[in-house]
Amino acid sequence: MDENKIKDAVRMIIEAIGENPEREGLAETPDRIARMYTEIFSGLKEKPEEHLKKVFTVNNDDIVLEKDIQFYSMCEHHFMPFYGKAHVAYIPNGKVVGLSKLARTVEAFAKRLQLQERMTVQIADSIMDYLEVKGAMVVIEAEHMCMTMRGIKKPGSKTVTVATRGIFKNKIEFRNEVYEMIKIR
C-alpha cells in the first residue's frame, strides 16, 4: 500500500471539490484516510486459504453453519461501503475447520475492493477448494451506501446473494435447511 500516493490523491480531491486541504479540520485528513485504507483494504495482502488450514477430524456429515458474520467492505464501483452479514454453511467430508476461521475467511475477502456477488462466490469456492467438503453454501445480505446516500436513496434496502456448491447445488432440501437455520434467532 503506497500511503504517500493516497495522501497526495486525497489532497487533490479536497482541492477539486473546492476546499482548502490546509484548513484546520482537513489538514490531517489525507493521513487519516491513508491509514484507514491500509486497514480496510488489508485483505489484498491476505491469502484466505491460510485461514482454512487448521482442521479437525470428524465422523459425521451434518451441516455446519456459522451465521451472522458481520462484515464491512468497499464497493469497487463507487468506493463506498457496503456492510451486512454473511452466513457460511458446509457439509464436512471427514474434517471441520475452527469456527473463527470461517469469519476470518469472510473478512479476508471483504477487506478489498469488492462486489457482493463476487465475494459470495469467492467464499464458497474457497471452502470447497481448501476444505474439500461435500458442499458449501454462502448467503450474504448487505446494505450498500451507494444505494442509501446517493443515486436512488433507498436506506434499509438489502441485497441478498447466494452461492451453492457441491451437494447444496442439487439438493434443495439442504438449501432449505440452511435457510431455516439462518432464520433461527
Does 78 show up as a binding residue in the annotation?
A: yes
- Asked if residue 87 and residue 29 are part of one domain, the reply reads no
How many residues in the chain?
185
Q: Which domain holds residue 25?
A: 3-40
- Asked if residue 13 and residue 104 are part of one domain, the reply reads no
The grid coordinates of residue 83 equal 456492510
- Asked if residue 27 and residue 55 are part of one domain, the reply reads no
Has residue 185 got a pLDDT over 70?
A: no
Mean pLDDT for all residues in the chain = 96
Query: What's the whole-model pTM score?
Result: 0.94
CATH number at residue 27: 1.10.286.10
- Positions annotated as catalytic residues are 75-78, 116, 144, 146
CATH number at residue 125: 3.30.1130.10
77 phi and psi, to 5 degrees? -80, -40
Span 86-93, average pLDDT: 98
Q: Are 146 and 108 in contact (CB under 8 A)?
A: no
Domain tally, the chain: 2
- Asked if residue 154 and residue 69 are part of one domain, the reply reads yes
- Asked if residue 68 and residue 100 are part of one domain, the reply reads yes
The grid coordinates of residue 94 equal 471427514
What value, to the nearest 5°, has the Cα angle with vertex 78 and ends 24 and 88? 115
Span 87-95, average pLDDT: 97
- Asked if residue 154 and residue 82 are part of one domain, the reply reads yes
The model's pLDDT over 124-148, given as tens digits with 9 standing for 90+, comes to 999 999 999 999 999 999 999 999 9
- Please, what's the b/e burial string for 48-76 (b: 16 or more CB within 10 A of its CB; e: otherwise)? beebbeebeeeeeeebbbbbebebebbbe
The model's pLDDT over 93-130, given as tens digits with 9 standing for 90+, comes to 999 999 899 999 999 999 999 999 999 999 999 999 99
- Asked if residue 83 and residue 11 are part of one domain, the reply reads no
- Asked if residue 124 and residue 98 are part of one domain, the reply reads yes
- Asked if residue 51 and residue 35 are part of one domain, the reply reads no
Residue 149 amino acid letter = M
- Asked if residue 54 and residue 10 are part of one domain, the reply reads no
Does 146 show up as a binding residue in the annotation?
A: yes
- Between 69 and 150, name the one with better pLDDT: 69
The residue among 93, 111, 95, 177 whose CA lies nearest residue 139 is: 177
